[in-house]
Structure 1
Amino acid sequence: MAARDIEMSRVDEDREAFLPAPAQQRRTTEPQYPPALVAVVVAFYFIISLAVVFLNKFILSSSEYKFPYPLFVTWFQLLVALGLLVAWAKLGQYKKAFSIIPPYEFDLSIAKRVAPLTVVYVLMLAFNNLCLQYVEVTFYQVARSLSIHFSILFTYLILGKKTSTAAIGACGIVFLGFVVGSYGEINFSWEGLIYGVGSSAFVALYGIYVQKSLAIVDNNQWRLLHYNTTLAILILLPVVMLSGEVSEILDNVQFLGDIGFWVLMTFTAATGFGINIAMFLQVKYTSALTNTISGTAKACVQTLLAAMIFRNPISFMNGVGIFLALFGSGYYGYVRYMERMTK
């Protein structure tokens, strides 16, 4: 699922989860956990987060089951995610280890208040998968690197909060990386770039709307996930139908009866849901600084793996742009972390 990596209140927007972990609820004094446990949690996040991006790219444009229908893919993944959410919540009633997710609920009066968030959420997911369809995975991070800028802009316009000079300087480095990386991209796509910028904008809006919507469900991100996922399925279904993707799938796709295709689709959707669990564990058992380092390191690994797996060509200018975008994002995360610690 393109969930961000959900980013999103954290720097690395590729952790495309259904809800950003409420990092703003962290205390300045954070508990210490055994290094082995922290390592396992970070590794789990790495694996799940990378799987989300690569499996989606594999389905949309690179696999034997090439399936270039991002809206239908997004809707199907939401459907599977809802099933897993309900099943996990049910299991939690009998097994304490799974009790982090409360029983499924859907109250119409609450749903109406959550609906604006869901509209932003659906657009974020759709633009993310559309971007992934048109750009190489090596350029994916650069194409979606402007979410930090939009976050600062929307935070000021909507919440009236200003950003420090150091954080703005970090954003300048990211923007330079965006420009240089776009100019140097060999397989450049205007469609992918536009969808990437759109995804960045909706990622930023989503993070703000989540902060405003959590109060509706007593600051419980899992309850909000119930409503958000259910509403997203209902909202996206007519969009999928009107887009013409369903008729194109029925007319052009020859492997709909292949169980291997549906296993791949379902497994990809499960990794999208798994991002929620991974982010929950990472926020609970690691520090804010570890989250920042982990996100930036994951983006570097993702770029290197994409170059090796998909054989994406990287020009010198493209490489410089990728480096600047990643460095700027990491520096921004560090600056914000230090600001939180000194408050």
Structure 2
Amino acid sequence: MTHPADPRATAPAPRLTIGFILAPRFTLSAFATFVDVLRLAADDGDGSRPIRCRWSVLSADMAPVQSSCGVRIEPEERLGDPSRFDYIVAVGGLIDGGPGLSSEEGAFLQKAAAQRVGLGGLCTGVFALARLGLMDGYRCCVSWFHHQDFLSEFERMRPISDQIFVVDRDRLSCSGGVSAAHLAAFLVDRHLGRAAARKSLSILMIDEPMQGDRPQPGLPLELSPRDPLVRRALLAMQQNLHAPLSVARIARDLGVGRRKLERHFSSDLGIPPADASVRIRLAQARMLLARTDRTVTRIAEETGFCDASHLIRVFRESEGMTPDLWRQGQAEAGSDAGQLTDVASP
């Protein structure tokens, strides 16, 4: 029997309902961030009552599910009828995190698709949907870090790794991390309105909702390594943008010689490791120029260049103009796009 104090006993039916299926070793941050956006949109203030939104963790056997960081989540409901939800969202994590979803969970997702319930994949949750054939004919978002993993497993599909999330009809997917918050805000905006979405993100200290086509921060698109050693080296470069590691240090940390690492880069990407490092840092510099008002000096510091002069010289060699002129061009292009949108709006 429902307790009288439970807001669900007297409140109107929620306008957005989501069931979650957690894969073994799922990413806790993506799940928690997504849920927190729902939580903050569901009630007035920070009351956290599931009034306007309702969410539940689903399971076939109700056993706790361990996340990749070791924290366990206890399911709240058995699978049952998927049509009681607006969306079913699979939350993935480590690619080699174990057996994956159970056969019962797979059948549940397929039943949800047959009933035209929206399906979502957070982080590597889209892998689970694709393994069930539920992404066939759909566009899907995959983190740049798992782009090659996806291609290796699903040769006929072309994942999108230059956007933070993708919505294609009744399929939703995101790259993980903070993009989960923006995908959740997209759904809140769709079902509850923009004010509710902005409120959630503001409380979470996120400046504003991002559209799905916002580029993923990460590797430049031309760096699509197939070699596992090269991928590990690129990740080390990405994680040390502000203080770039020497090629010798990266090779040593990976347990190989410098010449071996250089051979792998040459074979896989056709460039030496040092050039790849510069491309990664330039990509980050472009992102900061386009999205922030930070000075060139500060951007140089944050992206591992010696000083502003060094960044300006390397940037000019790459883009044919200084960072300030490039930023001005981006701002003018954005302004022109905004004017076109205004003209096209009814």
TM-score bin, normalised by smaller chain: under 0.3
Q: TM-score, normalised by structure 1?
A: 0.27
If each structure's strand is expressed as a fraction of its own residues, which one has the higher value? 2
Q: Which has the higher contact order (CA 8 A, sep 6+)?
A: 1
Q: TM-score, normalised by structure 2?
A: 0.27
Larger Rg: 2
